[in-house]
Amino acid sequence: MDTIVGPGRLFIRRAANVTDISQTEREPQNQMTSLTIAMVGSGGAGVVASGEMLLRAAAGMGLYGILRKTFGPQIRGGESAAIVRLGTEVVANLGSELEVLLVLDWNNFQRFADEIPISEATVLIQDLQAGEHPQNLPEPRQTLTLDFLGLAKSLGSSHSNLALLGYVADWLGCPSDIIDSAIRHRLREHSQETIELAITVALGGAQLQQDKPIPLQPILSAPEKTNSIGKRWIANGNQLIGLGALEAGIRFVAAYPITPASDVLEWMAGEIESVGGHLVQAEDELAAVNMTIGAGFGGIPAMTATSGPGMALMSEAMGLAVASETPLVVVDVMRGGPSTGIPTKSEQSDFNLAVYGLHGDAPHVVLSALSVADCHFTAGWATGIATERQTLVVVLSDQFLGQSSQIMPPLANTNFSASAAQQLEGDTEVDGTQRYFRYLDTDSGISPLALPGQPGGMFTADGLEHNAAAVPSPKAADHEQQLAKRLRKLDSLVESEHWAEHSSEQRGQGSMLLICWGSLYQVALEAQDKLREKGIDIVVMGIRLLSPLPLEEIKQAMQQATQTLVIEQNQLGQFAHYLRSFDRQGQDAALPPFHQYCRPGPTLFTPAEIVTQIQALIPDQTATEGSARQ
Amino acid sequence: MMLPKEYKSGVKPIWCPGCGHFAVLNAITKAFAALEQAPENAVLVSGIGCSSRLPAYINSYGFHGVHGRALPVAAGLKVARPDLNVIAMGGDGDGFSIGGNHFLHACRRNVDIVYVVMDNEVYGMTKGQASPTTPEHWEHSKLTPHGPEVRPFQPCAIALASGASFIARGYSGDPNGLAHMLFEAVQHQGFAFIQVLSQCPTFCPEQVGWKKTVHLEDTCTDDPVQAAAFLHGDDGLAKGIFYRRPRPTWPVQHQSTEPVNLRKGFEL
């Protein structure tokens, strides 16, 4: 069935000989039209590289998209997949469905079959050499078996992934010069010969598509190319953490490699010297965080990046940063846990560690990045807060945000750099004419900060409890004063406009409120769109400032809503428990009751899953609209 | 020009009477005076333990961190602020047990800092447990009633094997000699390690006998083979600068890169 396509929209026109058993026609207006393609192979077969090239080619066509790379823990010989979702507007999550699945190798497919949502809407293209089709997979709409490997070999190559790339790019209507340039970019460090052969194989794949097309026809009404080229970025969240941090003034990084945070560090290592900074690969996370604290004490804005196990090792020194009032940014790119867990997959299960993981009474700041692009903003904000308030800021990202590459409009500078520089370039109160009190008990809780090198400001920063003059003290009065000061200096943070993103100005007036944090925010926004099609209005709140929590704002939004659902990607409902804990602070602070939906990774939350959960809470609607497609 | 006593902060040390660390404190003030050290440009960084309290007693900047991590704090500070004179310090438990891994890598990395370990072969602050340098059959701790029954750690030999470029051993009974070593260590370009035999009269009163057994050895060499031969035959009570061989420090200065557009790599 053919469908009229509105201007500037990608639409799927289904081939006439294929029975459409999916949902009713999609209306182009007010709806993101998108298409998801997965490429699967064994580790080292190059499907992830093909995914990267396909994303770049799509960007060259003026489309938006996101690429999720999924790996097993092995470097070679395990399973790997690239899932690319393309659309005519910004695509910030992977959606719920899969239109095309291209398989070079079925070996090990079962290990991540859960993450590849094959359905009766999926067209399956498999290589002749792909091996035995696994049992128990949903029956696809149609299956084509093609000889990609044979094609590559006939052209003198073993890279069937490039034939696959050409095949799918041609189906998308990608002009050959664009795929050519995407290949040249990806293989820019390879020999000319390798590049030319790769292009030949991709062109062979494109010809194959002409001969044996995918039985779905995407019509791409891409925007004028001249408007798009050079005005879009391709970046992943890990790189954008690095960019946001450097732009806000981070000039020292010390870290220890860990999946999936290493590429924060690898990106920064390539850039930080050019802005006059240093990156140290430390001997372990204990060294990394303490080096970072040393640099921060010296007045150089500093950060480290790690994942759950690494942050667990860092947690003692994170308490030191709080007690000594040393600025410190710790980025946790969360993965499945505990212990080694599922290191290559995403989860939101380090919330408790980030919020509660410190020893003693150690108030600190915890932020969550709300999208791939928001990694940039949140890293900048974290840097600003850490330097301005002389404290620890933890940034929670996750494997999905960190390692998914997204096509996006260029990001604005966060402008957090000024506060960082001003605070650390010295404090006029430290002039040596009178005794300097490093930990002076001020109204704001923020004390004048002297930096080594400043005459008159000499003090010993201490993890040992101290008095206002920085002299070690076990006295109850000093302990109470310093604890109160360190808590108080975070108070005004909850007034920041950056504390959350909302899908609506009304913040829940008369609608259901969906509260989430981190990478689930973008999924929830799409769920909101889908619900609107069904006549259900909800408001989505993505919380960026997890600690200290702007409780009054949240309470107000909950009170205005008909009901509230909290969702998160961990087993225990860690955030929901945290939110509930504030309910015990007396009647004034009592929160309305709320629902929670939580489950662990590694499978990503989908918009359809959230729609199902919300519809289950609205019985009347579900009766008339039918159940959501999974 | 400041007098040694002017480098004291006035905070009263918590140490027991007769503690060797007083002599280390005095030696640092003497070395600073000799170096004409501007107090605001020196930072003393320590971990946890009796000796790690020392930074608060010196009129300079200081950082008193967590147990075992003085070296990473000091290295991070020095890399970020190469203009500062950074001296890390602590005890034998802090440096060789909980912080042992950092010791190896600090020797390797050769950041231009000084590391002073006040070695009294015991955990004093937790009331007398065996440390990595405690003699194998020292039976005075309830935690190890038969003695640690483990060979003592050899700090100087391990420093050499790990790549330290300046290795010395001082003695709290000789604060002038120690002040001289500190003076030399600060002047040295690279990681300079000084093990100080610093007696604990409270838990190891037998160390009072060191004043008779510690002996000066004038064996300073730049040959690691010669230094290794000496250190492996050493009774642990020799004092002196044993090894000094400057080598490139970290971070290596790369050719200055042009300021780049950090965002360029993201553009199509």
What would the pLDDT profile of B195-234 be if each residue is shown by its tens digit? 999 999 999 999 999 999 999 998 999 999 999 999 999 9
B200 neighbors B138 (Cβ within 8 angstroms): no
Whether A258 has a pLDDT exceeding 70, the answer reads yes
Could you give the residue range(s) of every CATH 3.40.50.970 domain in chain A?
240-424
Q: Mean pLDDT for chain B?
A: 96
Q: How far is CA A458 from the centre of its chain?
A: 42
Give yes or no for B69 touching A (CB within 8 A): yes
Q: Per DSSP, what are the bridge partners of residue A40?
A: A81, A103
Query: At B264, is the secondary structure helix, strand, or coil?
Result: helix
Whether B28 has a pLDDT exceeding 60, the answer reads yes
Query: At B172, is the secondary structure helix, strand, or coil?
Result: coil
Q: Looking at this predicted complex, what is its ipTM? A: 0.98
Whether A57 has a pLDDT exceeding 80, the answer reads yes
Would you list the domain boundaries of chain B?
Answer: 16-136+147-266
Alpha-carbon gap, residue B133 to B157, rounded angstroms: 13
Band (pLDDT 50/70/90 cuts) for residue A110 is confident
Residues of B in contact with A458 (CB under 8 A): 39-40, 59-61
Q: Which of A297, A313, A325, A330 to mutate to test the interface with B (most CBs of B within 10 A)?
A: A297
Domain covering B16-136+147-266: architecture: 3-Layer(aba) Sandwich (3.40)
Band (pLDDT 50/70/90 cuts) for residue A349 is very high
**Kind of pairing between the strands at A216-220 and A10-14:** antiparallel
Alpha-carbon gap, residue A59 to A91, rounded angstroms: 12
Contact B75 A316 (CB under 8 A): no
In A108-181, DSSP assigns E strands to 123-127, 142-146
Q: Per DSSP, what are the bridge partners of residue B111?
A: B250
Q: Could you read off the pLDDT of A360-414 as tens digits, one per residue?
A: 999 999 999 999 999 999 999 999 999 999 999 999 999 999 999 999 999 999 8
Query: At A483, is the secondary structure helix, strand, or coil?
Result: helix
Give yes or no for A324 touching B (CB within 8 A): yes
Q: Could you read off the pLDDT of A284-342 as tens digits, one per residue?
A: 999 999 999 999 999 999 999 999 999 999 999 999 999 999 999 999 999 999 999 99
Alpha-carbon gap, residue A587 to B207, rounded angstroms: 64
Q: Could you read off the pLDDT of A495-530 as tens digits, one per residue?
A: 999 999 988 765 556 799 999 999 999 999 999 999
Tell me the average pLDDT across A174-198: 96
Could you give the residue range(s) of every CATH 3.40.50.920 domain in chain A?
499-625
Burial (CB count <10 Å: 0-12, 13-18, 19+), residue A91? buried
Give yes or no for B100 touching A (CB within 8 A): no
CATH number listed for the domain at residues A10-231:
3.40.920.10
CATH topology for A499-625? Rossmann fold (3.40.50)
Which amino acid type is present at position A117? P
* Cβ-based neighbour number of residue B88 at 10 Å: 35
Two structure tokens written together for B49: 């333990």
Cβ contacts of A295 within 8 Å, gap of 6 or more: A251, A252, A254, A302, B76, B77, B79, B80, B81
Contact A247 B262 (CB under 8 A): yes
Q: How far is CA A99 from the centre of its chain?
A: 23
Lowest mean pLDDT among A25-39, A375-389, B94-108: A25-39
Residue window 104-123, chain B: list those with CB within 8 Å of chain A.
104-105
Whether B265 has a pLDDT exceeding 70, the answer reads yes
Residues of B in contact with A392 (CB under 8 A): none
Nearest to B80 among A278, A320, A457 (CB): A278
Give the pLDDT confidence score for residue A115 in this predicted structure.
86
SS3 readout for A604-624: CCCHHHHHHHHHHHCHHHHHH
Q: Could you read off the pLDDT of A401-459 as tens digits, one per residue?
A: 999 999 999 999 988 864 543 443 444 455 556 788 999 999 999 999 899 999 889 99
Residues of A in contact with B259 (CB under 8 A): 274-275
Give yes or no for B225 touching A (CB within 8 A): no
Q: Mean pLDDT for chain A?
A: 87
Give yes or no for B255 touching A (CB within 8 A): no
Whether A130 has a pLDDT exceeding 80, the answer reads yes
Give the pLDDT confidence score for residue A619 in this predicted structure.
67
Residues of B in contact with A317 (CB under 8 A): 65-66, 69
* Cβ-based neighbour number of residue A254 at 10 Å: 29
Q: Which of B40, B46, B73, B261 to mutate to test the interface with A (most CBs of A within 10 A)?
A: B73
Residues of A in contact with B41 (CB under 8 A): 452-453
Q: Could you read off the pLDDT of A482-498 as tens digits, one per residue?
A: 999 999 999 999 999 99
Q: Could you say which DSSP state residue B6 is in?
A: G
Alpha-carbon gap, residue B55 to B94, rounded angstroms: 15
Band (pLDDT 50/70/90 cuts) for residue A19 is very low
Whether A227 has a pLDDT exceeding 80, the answer reads no
Contact A460 B61 (CB under 8 A): yes
Closest-CA distance of chain A to residue B31, Å: 19
Q: Which of B61, B89, B108 to mutate to test the interface with A (most CBs of A within 10 A)?
A: B61
**Rg, C-alpha atoms of chain A:** 26
Angle at which helix A237-248 crosses helix A262-271, to 10 degrees, equals: 50
Band (pLDDT 50/70/90 cuts) for residue A582 is confident
Which residue bears the tokens 């860092």? A314
B55 neighbors B64 (Cβ within 8 angstroms): yes
Query: Please, what sign has the CA dihedral across residues B225, B230, B236, B238?
Result: negative
Planar angle of CA A75, A81, A82, nearest 5 degrees: 120
Band (pLDDT 50/70/90 cuts) for residue B138 is very high
Angle at which helix A520-533 crosses helix A607-617, to 10 degrees, equals: 60
Superfamily of domain A240-424: Thiamin diphosphate (ThDP)-binding fold, Pyr/PP domains (3.40.50.970)
Count of alpha carbons within 13 angstroms of residue A201, beta-carbon side = 27
Cβ contacts of A424 within 8 Å, gap of 6 or more: A299, A300, A301, A327, A387, A449, A451
